[in-house]
Amino acid sequence: MTEVADRPTGAPSRPAPEGIATGQSANGLIPGGTPAVDVAALGEQLLGKWADVRRQARELAARPELHKTEGLTHTEHRQRTFGQLRYLVDNDAVHRAFPTALGGSDDHGGNIAGFEELVTADPSLQIKAGVQWGLFGSAVMHLGTGEHHTKWLPGIMNLDIPGCFAMTETGHGSDVASIATTATFDAGTEEFVINTPFRAAWKDYIGNAAVDGLGAVVFAQLVTRGVNHGVHAFYVDLRDPDTKEFLPGIGGEDDGVKGGLNGIDNGRLHFSNVRIPRTNLLNRYGDVDAAGNYSSPIASPGRRFFTMLGTLVQGRVSLDGAAVAASKLALKTAITYATERRQFNASSPTEEEVLLDYQRHQRRLFTRLATTYAAAFAHEQLLEKFDDVFSGAHDTDEDRQDLETLAAALKPLSTWHALDTLQECREACGGAGFLIENRFASLRADLDVYVTFEGDNTVLLQLVAKRLLADYAKEFRSVTFGVLARYVVNQAAGTAVHRTGLRGVAQFVADNGLPQKAAIALRDEDSQRALLTDRVQSMVAEAAAALKGANKLPQDQAAAVFNQHQDELIDAAQAHAELLQWEAFTEALPKVADPGTRAVLTWLRDLFGLSLIEKNLSWYLMNGRLSMQRARTVGDYINRLLVKIRPHALDLVDAFGYGPDHLRAAIATGAEKVRQDEARNFYRAQRASGDAPVEEKSLLARKG
């Protein structure tokens, strides 16, 4: 295979592969029939519905004023990040989601699209901005009512009121329903009294709590007239605006230096008989009158709780998008470097190989590139769903449940993928990848916590699994006995076919024992969909059968049964999320107008689908879904796809649309190509002069 790219990042053109004429024809092919990628059109598709907003946000993120300065102490980094929030306000970058009456634009999807691009400048800035406007401000907006909006949102929007989102406690993170902070109503004074009754109830890991926060939305158990009405949100003033000292009854600690995101002043808060006015209850979903009577438009406590938390789903949506953006940065840098860095003269006595021509290097990077594309297309669907719900275009209970489930499914996959991609790209760049100047180590440290905040990934997948079980049960709740009986018979027959090897025999016969036919069957879109879908459906059905009747058992016994199958359920949820990504990728293909681009993206989609099948090959074999013949072809066909994708690798990462001011990686500037060309020219000149020293091994060969 020949080297494809010899250009610095941001250069306008690159040489075509050797032996291929330059110039793309009208049908999306380079003359000679080889597909070519229309980078500009693909880049526009990847920008999605809010393309203009993303372009504006990227222009802002490219400015040095917002870039992370490596090597600062955590105190210096905090000060810089807070100053950058002011810069965002001054550049009208934070108001999109807020009401038009207050200077916003009610653009919920655009707000997230712009916000997640800040990760390219500094993840600390992205998350601190998210705390201020995406959590603190959003809680006031979505859980409060008009009076609250008028009173607090202007100061939140212009940063006069830096604030905290005080939900997580030392003793309860993802289990929000069990938080221990209380807000007890005192009818005599018409005040709520906020208390953290023990150390585990302290609010912990709270952004803006250590230094900057003047106010907080505090989540606490609302108690009135001796009845606990569950978790509600309260606005609490934390510090004196002039002295920045805690107000009476409020205390806290600094969380100190963390593994990453040290531009954010995370801290702990505790409350001792802190009194706030009754009207500080953010009362959209629950209110208390002057006499202490509780009322809510949602009668069910459980549904009320999930409705309140559902309004805050945008944190998970934005983390999904930011993780995808970070993966794009890593791959753009690593693939650019891999087309320039040379190592070992395996195929030539004089020329060293470009790293990206090694099959293993392609495996490392292209499979992750395929996953990143899948995650990007899935995120765009999630963002559109989020906007539909929050704009009111499609805002039924079912729509909100679908949004919450989709966010809970995709956020774990994209954040885990980002960490994996950053690490693999770091290793693929060798020692250069470990240098802070190339950002892999820094980005990975900052994104590490993405997998556990805004919902621990494993807990989120368990929520997805419960939804899958509920949907499975609902599917059969209204069917007749005859339909159910036929389903049971068909399932039993299917199990017999799969697990006795009959499916494998049928596949072998269909393939005539030929690897080529087996590979063709696997690369077929319908075949991939069938395999990925069947795995999800089978896993859910088996889990449902194992848990049947558990809800009628005593609580401890039911919990034990569920715990026995928890791992299977979470695996099923992850398989479901992977299927969603594959479907999103597949649904994006018909929207690609250029035939050459569509051909290359189809190879990339196939690489993603077959990589999922390869990863779970043991399941497909143990459950009889694939014959040994077809299973053996998976790896070989993946390797064939790598060869096809290789000439287009730089185009595929260029389409991400990130320039040098976003990458800020020394090895992605073309400097490596300059070094390599200098070395090659040196040795060529030396050989041409006749003064090159003779290699000892060549002398030994002559003697032999």
Predicted structure pTM score: 0.90
Question: For residue 333, what is the enclosing H or E element?
Answer: helix 314-338
- The CATH code for residues 56-310 is 2.40.110.10
* pLDDT of res. 352: 84
pLDDT on residue 473 = 83
Residue 526: band (very low, low, confident or very high) from pLDDT cuts 50, 70, 90: very high
What superfamily in CATH does domain 314-654 come from? Butyryl-CoA Dehydrogenase, subunit A, domain 3 (1.20.140.10)
C-alpha–C-alpha distance, residues 406 and 404, integer Å: 6
Span(s) in the chain for CATH 2.40.110.10: 56-310
Q: How confident is the model at residue 487 (pLDDT cuts 50, 70, 90)?
A: very low
- For 2-150, strand residue ranges (E) read 29-30, 34-35
Specify the DSSP element, H or E, that contains 287: strand 287-288
pLDDT at 19 over 50: no
* Secondary structure (DSSP) of 531-598: HHHHHHHHHHHHHHHHHTTGGGS-HHHHHHHHHHTHHHHHHHHHHHHHHHHHHHHHHHGGG---HHHH
The pLDDT, as a whole number, for residue 498 is 56
Q: Please give the helix or strand (H or E) that residue 496 lies within, else none.
A: helix 481-499
Secondary structure (3-state) at 640: helix
Segment among 68-77, 439-448, 575-584, 690-699 with least mean pLDDT: 690-699
Cβ distance 269 to 199 under 8 Å? Answer: no
Check residue 239 and give its pLDDT.
Answer: 98
Average confidence score pLDDT of the chain: 89
φ, ψ for residue 509 (rounded to 5)? -65, -45
CB–CB of 646/357 below 8 Å? Answer: yes
In this structure, which amino acid lies at residue 540? Answer: V
Q: Identify the pLDDT of residue 3.
A: 36
Beta-bridge partner residues of 231: 221
The residues of the chain that CATH labels 1.20.140.10 are 314-654
Q: How far apart are CA 205 and CA 221, in angstroms?
A: 19
- Region 96-105: mean pLDDT is 93
DSSP 499: H
Instruction: Summarize pLDDT for 556-567 with one digit per residue, the tens.
Output: 998 898 899 999
DSSP 206-274: ETTTTTT-SEEEEEEEEEETTEEEEEEEEEEE-B-TTT-PBPTTEEEEE----SS-TTS--EEEEESSE
Quickly state the pLDDT bin for 397 (edges 50, 70, 90). confident
Q: How many CB atoms lie under 10 A from the CB of residue 280? A: 23
For residues 225 and 267, the answer to whether their CB atoms sit within 8 Å is no
Is 424 a residue whose pLDDT tops 50?
yes
Residue 504 in contact with residue 628, Cβ under 8 Å?
A: yes
Closest by CA to 464, choosing from 578, 549, 552, 376, is: 578
CB 624 within 8 A of CB 24: no
Residue whose C-alpha is closest to residue 578's, from 440, 408, 393, 374: 374
Banded pLDDT at 8 (limits 50, 70, 90): very low
Of 266, 145, 112, the C-alpha closest to 204 is: 266
Q: Which two tokens stand for residue 180?
A: 């221990």
State the average pLDDT over residues 666-674. 92
